[in-house]
Structure 1
Amino acid sequence: MLHTSNPIIKHKAGLLNHAEELGYVSRACKVMGFSRYTCYRYQEPVETGGIDALINQSRRTPNLKNRVDSETEQAALKYAIDFPAHGQVRTNNELRKLGVFISPSGVRSIWLCNDLENFKKHLVALEKQVAENGIILTEGQLAALERKKHDDEVCGEIQTAHPSYLGSQDTFYVGNLKGVGRIYQQTFVDTYSKIAFAKLYTTKTPITAADMFYL
């Protein structure tokens, strides 16, 4: 008979004891709701290592997060820079042709962990490689950089390094006030911080445009 007060293996010891009392494993399993395979799986370690072996058997190996090997990870990172315009599905398909097997979601996970989850960030990494290592760009990389430049121009994005580096200024007609006349607004926007300033004038001349800087 097996004796234990450990709640983790108490049900296992109870099954083995019941099987021993009845003399039939199948009957004991039917009564207690276990399969014969389970009973035999409990019996084997007890016969070789005693009841303590059941405790070791109950200790589960912790499930580590899914992690690809370093070679696969480096391949996915390199591909993002070599072909910045390709998405995770295209990357998955092309890497398979090279013998690197990873799912599209796996590709995205690697990119997320390395701050490369979108086209714009691929280009940032590419530009960094050019600046640091002086790599020669391929036609695909040049096309991707040109595409970004065009998109930035369409969206009105401007490359700016820090506050006060570059500003954008324009004049707008506001309306007509009785007793005052025409009103114009001079607007200045710092392109880095996106902070805007505005002043109202009764004329739209170079003098009022210059006066805008004396806030």
Structure 2
Amino acid sequence: AKLYTTKTPITAADILNDKVLPYFEQHELPMLRILTDRGTEYCGKVEHHDYQLYLAINDIDHTKTKAMSPQTNGICERFHKTILNEFYQVTFRKKLYGSLEELQKDLDEWMVYYNNDRTHQGKVCCGRTPLETLEDGKRIWAEKNLAQI
């Protein structure tokens, strides 16, 4: 997660470049496709839209959610609720921030906890952490690919 003061195509491309793609590379995963809502920060003509251009340059397919259908992107919607309840509401009760960088530092620490230590319920994680789910998924994918050879 990365904090911004604006919601624009360039900031949407920036988070992919600074956080998302490096995370995928660190875990040796290709970034083949991304699912977003239909916000103007994500959608536009490739030749005039920084986010669309970034996806095209990096050969990432872009799938958009159904209009007026937040449940299409339910995992992301649930994350928004979790980060609000477990990070922002708690953090802003405990501390006054003098800068966005200071808040970003605390958010980065919380994200490490969220991905590595906090177990998640539901049909995807089933009581595991997101990192455990990711690693298990990679192993299952590798086993399926070997079985097809």
Structure 1 or 2: more strand by fraction: 1
Q: TM-score range by the shorter chain?
A: under 0.3
Larger gyration radius, structure 1 or structure 2: 1
TM-score of the superposed pair, with normalisation by structure 1: 0.17
Identify which of structures 1 and 2 has the higher relative contact order when contacts are C-alpha pairs closer than 8 Å and 6+ apart. Answer: 2
**Could you state the TM-score of these two structures normalised by the residue count of structure 2?**
0.22
Larger helix fraction of residues: 2
